[in-house]
Chains A and B, each alone.
Chain A
Amino acid sequence: MTKLLQNFPQLQKHPFEYLTLFAILTAGLVFFFSFFAEPQLQRRVVYATAASYFLWSLYHHHRRGDLSPSIIAEYLLFALLGILLLTYTLF
């Protein structure tokens, strides 16, 4: 496991930040499937997960000291793309 982590220096440097991200994404997965027959709630889960991912990026890059408009735009666009791909495919 340690050897594997050596290949990902970012994970090694910021383990708790990445654990938080994985927890956010896992929560999104669990809530999405727990509202199986309720598309409205599923849609909210998607929005909340994407928003949390974006907020996580702000925190993560702020801690790293490299938060810049370009990075903010990158995460915002990734979150938006994820929402669009999901909502137009599923709802």
Chain B
Amino acid sequence: MNKLSRLFIPQKSNNYHALILQPSFLSLFIVLYLLNQSVLKSLTLLKPGVLGYSSEITVEKVLDQTNRERQIQALPPLRFNSTLAQSARLKAEDMFATNYWAHTSPAGVSPWKFIRDSGYKYSIAGENLAKDFYDTESLMKAWMNSPTHRDNIIHAKYEEVGIAVVDGVLGGIKTTLVVQHFGTPLVASTASTPEEKKLNSSFRPEAQVLAETSPLPVSEPLNPILIRKIVGGLIFGIIITTLFVDAYITLKNKTKRMTGSAIGHISFLALILVLILFARQGTIF
């Protein structure tokens, strides 16, 4: 019991500084955390698909929220187009099949090829991509906060959209890819030459919603993000609790000691906690 108290409570036997907060134990926590990351990484390589998660995102929700954003800008809603949805689905499947995360594949295949191959003739087109998001609200928030993705969503020239929400294994981890292909049919436009938006600047093709594009995985994979958060949260919880206990007892006993500032450490860790809690999930492209 006395040994345990040395870990958390400042006393003579630990030089009036909780052992958990001393460099040796902090190093141990870092090693344990890195070890956990290595195990997760190894698992993705040795047993692809064991790690990952399924999201609550659906094509209907993405379409609904996309049109809601357009409505706010007083723009007409985008029509769902099944050909664009097909091209969006093919793009997502291609990313899973050839294991890449980009607008243009490693083989140099652009989004426009998927749209053209699906049989959609466009005067203007664009693409939005996202992965690792759990819910539609966070996904839309991330897109709307990115000027290039936002441009696609509220582009006045787009008339139709196709959306694909596809689950699969990317880089050894199960995830959900969301592809939006935007477009305006050639017949509806006076433009004679198809306009292909710059991928990472202002435009992307629209996607359309496919009912069959949101399959959920049959098995429940281990969520690597959740595992990371649990392990990180445990380490964080132990350290911050010990910091408070250590600071309280030191203040109460008016102990003079040569250690780091508890206020400094607590402030820094509080910032880390706020960033983890409020930063967005997932990535967009």
- Report which A residues bind B (CB closer than 8 A): 7-11, 18, 21-22, 25, 28-29, 32-33, 36-37, 39, 42, 46, 49-50, 53, 56-57, 60-61, 66, 68, 70-71, 73-75, 77-82, 84-86, 88-90
Contacts and interface: CB of A to CB of B under 8 A. Distances in A.
A58 to B, nearest CB: 11
A33 B145 CA distance: 11
Contacts of B239: 81
Given A53-B268, A88-B232, A46 B261 contact: no
Contacts of B264: 18, 21, 53, 56-57, 60, 75
B79 interface: no
B23 A77 contact: yes
Given A28-B271, A90-B279, A81 B260 contact: no
Q: Which of A49, A60, A61, A77 has the most CB of B within 10 A?
A: A77
21 contacts: A18-B263, A29-B271, A37-B149, A49-B271, A56-B264, A68-B258, A71-B258, A74-B21, A75-B264, A77-B23, A77-B30, A78-B269, A81-B29, A81-B33, A82-B271, A82-B272, A84-B30, A85-B232, A85-B272, A88-B228, A89-B276
Closest 6 CB pairs of A and B: A37-B146, A77-B26, A73-B23, A74-B260, A36-B145, A82-B272
Interface of B: 21-23, 26-27, 29-30, 33-34, 37, 142, 145-147, 149, 225, 228-229, 232, 235-236, 239, 251, 258-261, 263-265, 267-269, 271-272, 274-276, 278-280, 283-284
A37 B265 contact: no
Contacts of B145: 36-37
What does DSSP make chain A's interface, helix, strand, loop or mixed?
A: helix
B260 A37 contact: no
Contacts of B235: 81, 85
